[in-house]
Amino acid sequence: MDIETLRAFCLSLPGTSEGVKYGDQLCFMVLGKVFCSSNLKNLDRANFKVADEVFEEICERPGIVPAPYGGAKFKWVQATDFDCLTDPEWAGYLRQAYDLVKAKLPKKDQRTLDTA
């Protein structure tokens, strides 16, 4: 996986857009809510949301750390390089991040995404 493959995968998910937030973060968002990001100055790492029950386990893997700047409190992790996960693992975790954020959207918006 690399940033371009990650970008293509994220943008393939219904309702996903990209934009720069927080000054230097390339963010992938479902209806404006961030589910994955990468620092524009360091595009060889990425942050993404994980399920509560996965957080401790995934942080034990080499190359995965709790997300900086308080993100870990909300169960965000940072992959310090793209080789720490296989491409199928990346796809699974990114889809999970998308689904977790989508689940917090209003039901009407969720239904719109489900029919897209």
Helix (H, G, I), strand (E, B) or coil at 54: helix
Predicted pLDDT of residue 55: 96
What is residue 61's predicted lDDT score, i.e. its pLDDT?
95
Domain presence at residue 113: no
Model pLDDT, residue 17 = 97
The pLDDT of residue 116? 66
User: How does pLDDT run along the chain (116 residues), one tens digit per residue?
Assistant: 889 999 999 999 999 999 999 889 999 999 999 999 998 988 889 999 999 999 999 999 999 999 988 788 999 999 998 999 999 999 999 999 999 999 999 999 999 898 86
pTM of the predicted protein model: 0.93
Residue 111 lies in a domain: no
Per DSSP, the residues of 61-97 read STTEEE-TTTGGGGTEEEESSGGGS-HHHHHHHHHHH
CATH code, domain with 44: 3.90.1150.30
**What's the domain range around 100?**
3-106
* Domain tally, the chain: 1
Any domain includes 47: yes
- In angstroms, the CA 47 to CA 101 distance is 14
